[in-house]
Amino acid sequence: MKTLVIAEKPDMGRNIASVIEPRAKNNRSYLEGDQYIITWAVGHLVSLAEPDAYDPKYKRWSIKDLPIIPEQFKIVPNPKTKDQLKVIGELAKKCNSIVNACDAGREGQYIFALIQQQLKLKQPVKRLWISDLTAESIANGFRSLKDGAEFEDLTLAARARSEADWLIGMNASRAFTTKHQTLLSVGRVQTPVLALIYDRQKEIEAFESQTFYDVKASFSQESLQYPGTWQGERLTSKEKAEDIANRVKGKAGAITKYEMKDTKDYPFKLYDLTLLQREVNAKYGYSAKKTLDIAQGLYERHKIISYPRTNSNYVNEQNLEGMHKALHMLKSTGYKEKAEGANPALVHKNNKSVCNPERVEDHHAILPTLKRPGTLSKEEQHIYDLIIVRFLSHFYPPAVYKQHTVITEVEGESFKTNIKELVSLGWKVLIQQDKEANSNKRSGKKGKEDGEEETQEWSGGPFNVNQDKPVTCVHSEAKEKATQPPKSYTEGTLLKAMESAGKSMEDEELRDVMKDSGLGTPATRAATIERLKKVGYIIMQGKKISITQKGRSAVELIRHAGVELLASPEMTGQWERRLHQISKGEASSEVFMKNVQRFTVSIIDKVSSQKPAPSSMFAEDRERSKGVPGKRNTAVKSSAHSSKATAARGTAKVMEVQTEARTPLGDCPVTGCEGRIIEGKKGFGCSQFKAGCTFVIWKEFAGKTITQAMLKSLLSQGRTQLLSFKDDRGTAFKARIVQVRPESGQLRVERDNPLP
């Protein structure tokens, strides 16, 4: 009899067949050769059943029926792919052994385990565990197949993760939804991620900008001219800043301190998936999901990169030979010039910035394979270029600089200069034309904070300053600045926050676990962000992520219910620690599930005693639902029949209509009116508008968009902070937006220093 090979996707199956059965007959849903029959799943062919599979009463959501805790979890075929599942079952009858060739990771292991369970497959199983789909890797993988039993603990961990997510998602979502009469989706990963966005938005809204002043000067010494920044406590007085600038201008000074040291910038880390998604989002604006899809295509279809769903930035010793072969391959491609300049001797087993086996778990960093790239789309080329340049950079020496620090004193005032003088580009020769690379910011490094010392890259020849010779202040000026609020998340910065979530935990053991895992996995983070969009919790405004009112209310209700753990990375840290131990055979999945069940019961108890949310939290949501047959109950019923795949991941079901409620932003300033100011599409108006209150502040005024933070300043102080405007001639000026009268929404622009 033959051996059945089950791959995760059709492309993978065909790649495998081309190596192990090159003359196999193509039967559309499988390929059959002399020794092997190769077929495939199409993602999840089987998933956890919906609650109504246990009892029909669960079709209607009721908090009285909670918690739902199955004694034995049921699984069901995906109706869209049931034909392929049937094909696998029929093929299995013709085979006496099976090879699990699904993705080499926890999720791939789970996909196979569910198929095996549903079809009651009894044949012995071998495991193919490879990181790329090149012919060489596939051939090597089949020569060294592992016994399927070696991965039983990984299967237990995968199953525990899925069933635990189901318990939390199904029960918490139904509890919060039925208690507050609005469909609310809750999940172990999605809810802490939503809380990150919520907390950042609250920081932005609470931020009050402060005006301050920098004094910048330019000094000359013989033929050298260099900049400097005044040193001292932050200047909040314009007059004092201008006085310093005027006193030093044209005056002689001396260099009171000068230091120079050699520094090196080493290549950035090799890509894992999250780092790749972050950089692609920053450079090209692609969503995390789009980047993952493109990278998966480069891996599966083009076979020119290794497995992309990795969380490692390093490689093992056995990968080094392949890296050197890939370098040689690139010399016969469009990357010839870059590859020719590389030094193979720089990548070796003692180079810990590349080869660090202790930091590699299931998969190594994303690498090019030995296959030459064919015709790629523009988007595929963008991502492949980044991977190749990052790969090649490690075959180049570090960039070398001289770091100069100068303290110049004039009229008793000190100015500091930080100069980074380039000595040798090193690996940066690969990216010197890249504007983003020239900003000299490493991926994920924080931008310069308000008032932080600037370092200037020097490109005007050798920086030769003589500490013993005088200098002259040839120019100086006071520059007005304003402290900046925290930045809204983009998908790229949110991915970084998800990856590093929990690093500030007080529990050292949990902090260590979260250090290497974060919220979600590289393979699921993109799906989590997409999920938050789908349920109406966040929207995209360009690259910026904005939380909707529905998202705000969800976080507040969860926290106020006394189940803050649901919105905290801590629970994920606890779970990931235990799941990792289960996968290594160091902990019991049964004990883990018992603890999850107890936590589920506690959620139901706390939500049951919570007061229903006031109608104002979801006013707009309910307003839009008017006229819809069955209103919420219809939505809840329909949600029970939504995607089984989503159910398997333990997230709540949602109706198609996504809405935002309106939360009061302040009291209406009109005398005698007891209304609250709420946000509409075009302006901020009074909640008593139906009773006749006409107060409104329009969002667009004088070329500016009135934000919630600006609105609060207008309501409390009658004016905004200083803003930049341009007059009809294009001349820039500073001004504030002010209310004409406290009880009027009418606005005007008032210059900071109006001309007489």
* Residues linked to residue 211 through DSSP beta bridges, in sequence order: 482
Which residue type is seen at 158? A
What is the Cα–Cα distance from 499 to 196, expressed in whole angstroms? Answer: 12
Number of helices (H) and strands (E), helices first, in the chain? 22, 27
For the chain, how are helix, strand and coil distributed in percent, rounded to 5?
40, 20, 40
What is the Cα–Cα distance from 538 to 74, expressed in whole angstroms? Answer: 33
Q: Virtual CA dihedral for 349, 351, 357, 362, nearest 10 degrees?
A: -110
What is the Cα–Cα distance from 534 to 656, expressed in whole angstroms? Answer: 8
Identified catalytic residue from 271, 286, 307, 396: 307
Q: What is the DSSP string of 174-226?
A: HHHHHHHTS-----TTHHHHHHHHHHHHHHHHH----EEEEEEEEEEETTEEE
- DSSP class of residue 696 equals E
Helix axes 525-534, 190-206, angle to 10 degrees: 70
* Residues linked to residue 697 through DSSP beta bridges, in sequence order: 684
Which residue type is seen at 11? D
User: Distance from CA of residue 558 to its chain's centroid?
Assistant: 22
Beta-strand relationship, 46-48 and 146-147: unpaired
Nearest to 550 by CA among 184, 271, 258, 18: 184
Nearest to 342 by CA among 368, 317, 360, 373: 368
Nearest to 9 by CA among 46, 37, 39, 48: 39
537: annotated active-site residue: no
- DSSP class of residue 543 equals T
The label of the residue with tokens 């690139």 reads 330
φ, ψ (nearest 5 deg) of residue 357: -55, -30
For the chain, give the number of residues.
756
Alpha carbons within 13 angstroms on the beta-carbon side of residue 283 total: 20
Q: What is the DSSP string of 219-242?
A: EEETTEEEEEEE-SSPB--HHHHH
Taking CA atoms, 392 is separated from 47, 277, 323, 373, 640, in Å, by 42, 19, 10, 16, 50
What is the Cα–Cα distance from 76 to 277, expressed in whole angstroms? Answer: 33
DSSP reduced 3-state for 28 = coil
**483 class by beta-carbon count within 10 Å (0-12 exposed, 13-18 middle, 19+ buried):** middle
Q: Return all residues near 140 (Cβ < 8 A) that are at least 6 apart.
A: 130
What is the Cα–Cα distance from 70 to 57, expressed in whole angstroms? Answer: 14
Any idea which residues carry the catalytic annotation? 307
